[in-house]
Amino acid sequence: MLELTIDHSVIVLVIMGVALLLLITGLVSTDIVALMVLVSLGLSGILDLSELTSGFGSPVILTMVGIFMLTAALEHTGVTAYLSRLLLRLTQQAPERTLVGLLALAAGLFSLAMNSFASVALIMPVGRQVAHSRNLSPSRIMLPIAFGGILGGMATLLTTANLLISDALVEQGFSGFSLLDFLPIGGPIALAGILYMMLLSPLVLPERSPSDHWSALQQARKDLTRTYALSKRLFEVQINPNSPLNGKTLAESDLGRTYGATVAAVVRGRQTFTPPDPGLHLVSGDWLLLGCRPDDAATAAQELKLTLVDQDAVDHNILFANNSELAEVALSPHSNLIGKTLAEIKFRDKYELNILAIWHEGSPRRSHLIDYRLTLGDALLVQGPPDRLSLLSQEPGLFVLTRLPNIPEGSQRAIIAMIILLVFLVVIGLDLLPVPLAALLGAIAVVVTGCETVEQAQASIRWDVLILIGGMLPLATAMKQSGAIQMLTGFLPGMLQTMGAHTVLLVVFLLTVGLAQLTSGAAASLIVGPLVIATGAQAGLNPQALAMAVAIGASTAFLSPMAHPANLLVMGPGGYQFHDYYRLGAPMVLLAAAGVLLLIPLVYPL
């Protein structure tokens, strides 16, 4: 390969800058950005083919594959469902502050052995159930659960950002981190953060929803229409003999696209269709329960020759005919439904369920839903038979929040899954095997023992995360070879001489925190980690100390819903707005900063 010049360093910096811009704006998904980085480094001649593909041979990739499969086995065997029910019993009678602390602590403990996002998804239905029984608002509970899960990730090696930082140390010739190396720093920070949320989150978090919000979501039928304010948007109309709807199917009526209406039920004599099939032929005398705006209901009644019933006389019980139920469904930040309209995904045809409302940025949308483009943090109010709602919970990227996960049949394999996980943790804790090898052995074991099928194991792998890692790791190689690292971090030696090592440590932490809020913890560690490790070593600082500061900073994702998938997961169900995150999260950043300055020098002397 040709000798690299200063021009190459400029090209690398431009590539990194464009990648950062795309990651921050979200115009392109993270995995595509990583592939664009790879292609750019290859076309510019900065890296050869072996260097371009080196990222996908990283030990972190193998470790993440194993962890994805291992933790998925806990769900498929019913371990997580059993633990959810146990936690529900433990928190049922707890005072609100104790309740917040227990739920956040549970999410943090689960994060020690599984993905933080998965732990939050596990605890959320428990919080929902407890809030129902305690008559609490969702906004009082959901965000502490998300923050608790993120805090737990600080204290273990088995977090994406922490694995990446450890790998960056090894790549540059230093000792990586072991399973328990994060505990002395991340553990106290996590406990302090949970204690802070116990004491102050009831004062900081809003009571944005009515006190019966969770009760309605869990079991109350008439009250559930008030949760999403459906009573303001439900209208009954009757089809007259001269109506153009006579003889048309529900799909052909085009009530959704033209009038923004959702047909929640069709009543014909003593027969009720809830939710009605799109192929149902409408006839004179049918009564339709429409969800739409008052002016749209009036326009539809006039133009389609319908008799509009006074809104006060509308029977909301029609929603629950034929044993139909309502459920709230959250979108995963990685759901393939995000960015699409309900018409594009054919939600009604695919799932045989109605969407009556969408919770978006703290308020419900109840009309003109068919062309609404789903966004990060949305929650859906879904109507349909219980069996269809149960099937919905099995869809990747969707979380049914109004019920605890079912314990599957054959859950005796749960003990096997737990034993495999414990053996994996002991093996890597005692350093008996390299972490990637132990993770893959554990993944093979859960499949061979029948804890999950091959298809379930394959579906558990987060390919977007793996592509992000494999695509961005070569960028660190290019920055090191081209001299871009020296250009970016040339100020650190001078800062070390004038302000001291503790200031450098704080600057590294804050830089990572800021980048993590705008991109993600994994992206921040991939970009900042190699920079500060190389420069710190040249300046005479302990590279492990700087690497630990980057790792903690990458997990300090408390200022924005975009900073961590767990934050986005609770946004819709909690009815949160952007400012709720930094109101609760800013003091947690200060706690983490204090932990970095006090604890890291004790464990890793500067």
Which of 283-287, 290-294, 298-302, 570-574 comes out lowest in average pLDDT? 570-574
Tell me whether residue 94 is exposed, middle or buried, using C-beta atoms within 10 angstroms of its C-beta: 0 to 12, 13 to 18, 19 or more. middle
CATH of the domain at 360: 3.30.70.1450
Region of 228 on the Ramachandran plot (φ > 0 left; ψ -120 to 50 alpha; else beta): alpha
Question: For residues 431 and 454, what is the distance between their CA atoms, to the nearest angstrom?
Answer: 28
Which of 290-304, 385-399, 456-470, 550-564 comes out lowest in average pLDDT? 385-399
Q: How confident is the model at residue 213 (pLDDT cuts 50, 70, 90)?
A: very low
Mean pLDDT of 135-162: 89
Query: Looking at the structure, do residues 256 and 184 belong to the same domain, yes or no?
Result: no
The HSE-up count of residue 138 (CA atoms within 13 Å, CB side) is 27
Query: Looking at the structure, do residues 250 and 233 belong to the same domain, yes or no?
Result: yes
Q: How confident is the model at residue 211 (pLDDT cuts 50, 70, 90)?
A: very low
478 within some domain: no
Query: Looking at the structure, do residues 228 and 279 belong to the same domain, yes or no?
Result: yes
Q: Among residues 168, 57, 174, 51, which one has the least CA distance to residue 478?
A: 51
Cα Rg of the chain, angstroms:
26
Mean pLDDT of 217-244: 66
Is the pLDDT reported for residue 279 higher than 70? yes
Q: How many H-runs (helices) and E-runs (strands) does the chain carry?
A: 29, 10
Query: Looking at the structure, do residues 397 and 275 belong to the same domain, yes or no?
Result: yes
Q: Among residues 525, 526, 460, which one has the least CA distance to residue 65?
A: 460
Q: Is the sign of the CA dihedral 183, 185, 186, 189 positive or negative? A: positive
pLDDT digits (tens, 9 = 90+) for 332-346: 777 778 888 888 888
Q: What is the pLDDT of residue 549?
A: 95
Q: Which amino acid is at 436?
A: P
Strands laid side by side in the 325-331 sheet: 363-365, 354-360, 379-384, 325-331, 398-400
Question: For residues 25 and 351, what is the distance between their CA atoms, to the nearest angstrom?
Answer: 32
- For 372, the 3-state DSSP assignment is coil
pLDDT digits (tens, 9 = 90+) for 480-527: 777 776 666 666 666 666 777 888 899 899 989 988 887 778 888 888
Mean pLDDT of 219-246: 70
Is the pLDDT reported for residue 230 higher than 90? no
515 within some domain: no
27 within some domain: no
User: Which residue, of 376, 406, 436, is where some domain finishes?
Assistant: 406
pLDDT digits (tens, 9 = 90+) for 236-276: 888 999 999 998 998 888 888 888 888 888 888 878 888 88
Question: For residues 563 and 117, what is the distance between their CA atoms, to the nearest angstrom?
Answer: 12
Question: For residues 294 and 233, what is the distance between their CA atoms, to the nearest angstrom?
Answer: 7
Query: Looking at the structure, do residues 416 and 401 belong to the same domain, yes or no?
Result: no
CA dist list (Å): 38 to 41, 106, 393, 486: 5, 39, 36, 22
Query: Following DSSP, what letter does each residue of 418-480 receive, concatenated?
Result: HHHHHHHHHHHHTTSS-HHHHHHHHHHHHHHTTSS-HHHHHHH--HHHHHHHHHHHHHHHHHH
Q: What is the pLDDT of residue 574?
A: 79
Which of 409-413, 480-484, 551-555 comes out lowest in average pLDDT? 409-413
Q: Mean pLDDT of all residues in the chain? A: 82
How would you classify the pairing of strands 287-291 and 262-268?
A: antiparallel
Q: What is the pLDDT of residue 591?
A: 96
Q: How confident is the model at residue 81 (pLDDT cuts 50, 70, 90)?
A: confident
At 567, list the tokens.
Answer: 């934050």
Q: What is the pLDDT of residue 224?
A: 45
Mean pLDDT of 133-143: 79
Query: Looking at the structure, do residues 96 and 168 belong to the same domain, yes or no?
Result: yes
- Percent over 90 (pLDDT), the chain: 19
Is the pLDDT reported for residue 567 higher than 90? no
73-87 core/surface letters (b: 16 or more CB in 10 A; e: else): bbbbbbbbbbbbeeb
Is the pLDDT reported for residue 6 higher than 60? no
Is the pLDDT reported for residue 116 higher than 80? yes
Question: For residues 66 and 117, what is the distance between their CA atoms, to the nearest angstrom?
Answer: 16
Tell me whether residue 591 is exposed, middle or buried, using C-beta atoms within 10 angstroms of its C-beta: 0 to 12, 13 to 18, 19 or more. buried
Q: How confident is the model at residue 402 (pLDDT cuts 50, 70, 90)?
A: low
Query: Looking at the structure, do residues 413 and 383 belong to the same domain, yes or no?
Result: no
Mean pLDDT of 102-119: 87
Q: What is the pLDDT of residue 3?
A: 47
194 within some domain: yes
Mean pLDDT of 278-283: 88
31 within some domain: no
Query: Looking at the structure, do residues 236 and 196 belong to the same domain, yes or no?
Result: no
- What 8-state DSSP symbol labels residue 319? G
Whether 241 and 312 have beta carbons less than 8 Å apart is answered as no
Is the pLDDT reported for residue 52 higher than 80? yes
Q: What is the pLDDT of residue 4?
A: 44
Query: Looking at the structure, do residues 305 and 351 belong to the same domain, yes or no?
Result: yes
91 within some domain: yes
At 50, list the tokens.
Answer: 């072996």
CA dist list (Å): 536 to 321, 472, 514, 526: 67, 21, 20, 16
452 within some domain: yes
Query: Following DSSP, what letter does each residue of 578-594 receive, concatenated?
Result: HHHHHHHHHHHHHHHHH
Q: What is the pLDDT of residue 20?
A: 79
Q: How confident is the model at residue 216 (pLDDT cuts 50, 70, 90)?
A: very low
Question: For residues 202 and 196, what is the distance between their CA atoms, to the nearest angstrom?
Answer: 10
Question: For residues 253 and 244, what is the distance between their CA atoms, to the nearest angstrom?
Answer: 9
Is the pLDDT reported for residue 418 higher than 80? yes
Query: Looking at the structure, do residues 393 and 421 belong to the same domain, yes or no?
Result: no
User: Which residue, of 406, 425, 454, is where some domain finishes?
Assistant: 406
Whether 553 and 597 have beta carbons less than 8 Å apart is answered as no
Whether 75 and 119 have beta carbons less than 8 Å apart is answered as no
Range of the domain at 136: 64-211+408-463
Q: What is the pLDDT of residue 406?
A: 63
Mean pLDDT of 212-219: 40
559 within some domain: no
- What 8-state DSSP symbol labels residue 2? P
Q: What is the pLDDT of residue 497?
A: 65
Whether 58 and 470 have beta carbons less than 8 Å apart is answered as yes
Strands laid side by side in the 306-308 sheet: 271-273, 262-268, 287-291, 234-239, 306-308
How many independent structural domains does the chain possess? Answer: 2
Query: Looking at the structure, do residues 373 and 433 belong to the same domain, yes or no?
Result: no
Q: Among residues 570, 479, 474, 468, which one has the least CA distance to residue 520?
A: 468
Query: Looking at the structure, do residues 234 and 123 belong to the same domain, yes or no?
Result: no
At 369, list the tokens.
Answer: 């839903």
User: Which residue, of 357, 384, 406, is where some domain finishes?
Assistant: 406
Q: How confident is the model at residue 137 (pLDDT cuts 50, 70, 90)?
A: confident
